[in-house]
Amino acid sequence: MAKSVFYHAGCPVCISAEHDIINLIGAENVEVVHIGEVRNRIDEAEKAGVKSVPALVTPNGNVLHINYGASIADVKG
Amino acid sequence: MAKSVFYHAGCPVCISAEHDIINLIGAENVEVVHIGEVRNRIDEAEKAGVKSVPALVTPNGNVLHINYGASIADVKG
ipTM of the complex model: 0.93
Q: How far is A64 from chain B (nearest CA, A)?
A: 6
Classify burial at A15, counting beta carbons within 10 Å of its beta carbon; exposed 0-12, middle 13-18, buried 19 or more. Answer: middle
Mutate to test the interface with A, among B64, B65, B68, B71 (most CBs of A within 10 A): B64
| Antiparallel, parallel or unpaired: β B4-8 and A63-71 | unpaired
How many CB atoms within 10 Å of residue B1? 10
A vs B: CB pairs below 8 A: 43
Q: What are phi and psi of B57, to 5 degrees?
A: -100, 120
State the average pLDDT over residues A13-40.
Answer: 97
Q: Report the mean per-residue pLDDT for chain A.
A: 96
Q: Measured between CB atoms, does B17 come within 8 Å of chain A?
A: yes
Q: Distance (Å, rounded) from C-alpha A4 to C-alpha A9? A: 17
Which residue of A20, A64, A68 is in closest CB contact with B20?
A64
CA B29 to CA B6: how far, in whole Å? Answer: 10
What percentage of chain B reaches a pLDDT higher than 90? 96
Predicted confidence band of residue A55 (pLDDT cuts 50, 70, 90): very high
Percent of chain B with pLDDT strictly greater than 70? 99
Q: In angstroms, rounded to a whole number, what is the distance separating the alpha carbons of residues B65 and B50? A: 7
Q: What is the pLDDT of residue A1?
A: 60
Q: Do A24 and B25 count as a contact with CB atoms less than 8 A apart?
A: yes
Neighbouring C-beta atoms of residue A29, cutoff 10 Å: 16
Query: Which pTM value belongs to this model?
Result: 0.95
Q: Minimal Cα–Cα distance from A39 to chain B, Å?
A: 24
Cβ separation of A25 and B20 shorter than 8 Å?
no
